[in-house]
Chains A and B, each alone.
Chain A
Amino acid sequence: MTHPAAETRSVIVEREIAYPAEKIWRALTQPLLIEEWLMKNDFKPVEGHKFKLRRDSQADIGVIVDCEILSVKPNRTLSYKWSAYGVETIVTFTITPTTAGTHLRVEQSGFQSDQRRAYNGARASWPQFLAALEKLLARVN
C-alpha cells in the first residue's frame, strides 16, 4: 500500500520476531491476548465488525479508539480503521514468514497533512504528550 507523501502521512514499524506467523496471528486476533499487548477490546476477526480499544492511562485521561475491521486474511494481514480524537487512520498488520521466524509490519496510514488534520493530529497526540511531559518533568529537577 503506498500513499502520496504530499497528501498523507504514514507510520511504519517493522520487526523480526522469532515466533511463527500462526502464533503472532493469535496475539493479534484473540481479545484476551490483544489486551495484554495493546488495549482492552471487544475485537472479533470479522470484516465489518466494529469494536473499541480502551486504555485507562496512569494520567487522568483515558484513551478510547473506535475501530472497524476492514480485512482479515488469517496468518497474513489484518487491517482496521483506527479512529481517535477525531483522527481517522487505517492500521494494517502484515505478517511474512522468514527463515529465522516472522517479519511483522504495522502501517498506520491516512493521516492528512493539511492544517485541519494537523490540528486533529495534535489532539490525538495530546494524551501521549501529557504522559511524556510528566515523565520528563519527573526526570528534570
Chain B
Amino acid sequence: MTDAQDALFRTLADPTRRGLFERLCREGEKTVGALTAQAGVSQPVVSKHLGILKQAGLVRDRHEGRQTHYSAQLGALSPLIDWTSQMAGFWQSRFDDLEDLLKRMDP
C-alpha cells in the first residue's frame, strides 16, 4: 500500500470522521455548527476531526464571517477509487451470483 493510500485509510478508519466526511459527500458544504448538530459529539471534537480530514486533503475549509464552511474534496479519494474497476468488480461478483442461481434453477 502506498503512503497516500495508507494515510487515507487511517484517516477514514475512524467512524466519526468517516461519518462527517460522508455527510459532506452526500449533503454538500456545511458549517461546523451544522455538522455538530448531528454528529453526537461536541464541537471541539468535530473541529479536531475536520482538522485531520483537512490534513489528509479530504475536506476544504472556507471562512465566511465568523463561520467556517467545510466541503468534501472527492478528488482526494482518487488513489482509492477508480470507477471502472469498482463497477467491473461489481459485475464480476453479480455474475458469480448469477451462475450460482442458474445452477439452482429449473432447466
Contacts and interface: CB of A to CB of B under 8 A. Distances in A.
Nearest to A61: B22
B91 to A, nearest CB: 4
A119 to B, nearest CB: 6
A27 to B, nearest CB: 6
A124 B81 CA distance: 10
B95 A13 contact: yes
A37 B96 CA distance: 8
Interface of B: 9, 12-13, 18, 22, 25-26, 74-75, 77-78, 80-81, 83-84, 86-92, 94-95, 97-102, 105, 107
B18 A130 contact: yes
B81 A125 contact: yes
Contacts, number: 88
Interface in A114-141: 118-119, 121-126, 128-130, 133, 136-137, 140
Interface residues of A, number: 35
Given A106-B91, A123-B74, 4 more contacts: A108-B91, A122-B78, A128-B86, A128-B89
B102 A27 contact: yes
A128 B98 CA distance: 19
Contact of A121 (B13, B80, B83, B99): B83
Interface in A1-41: 9-13, 15, 17, 19, 23-24, 26-27, 33, 36-38
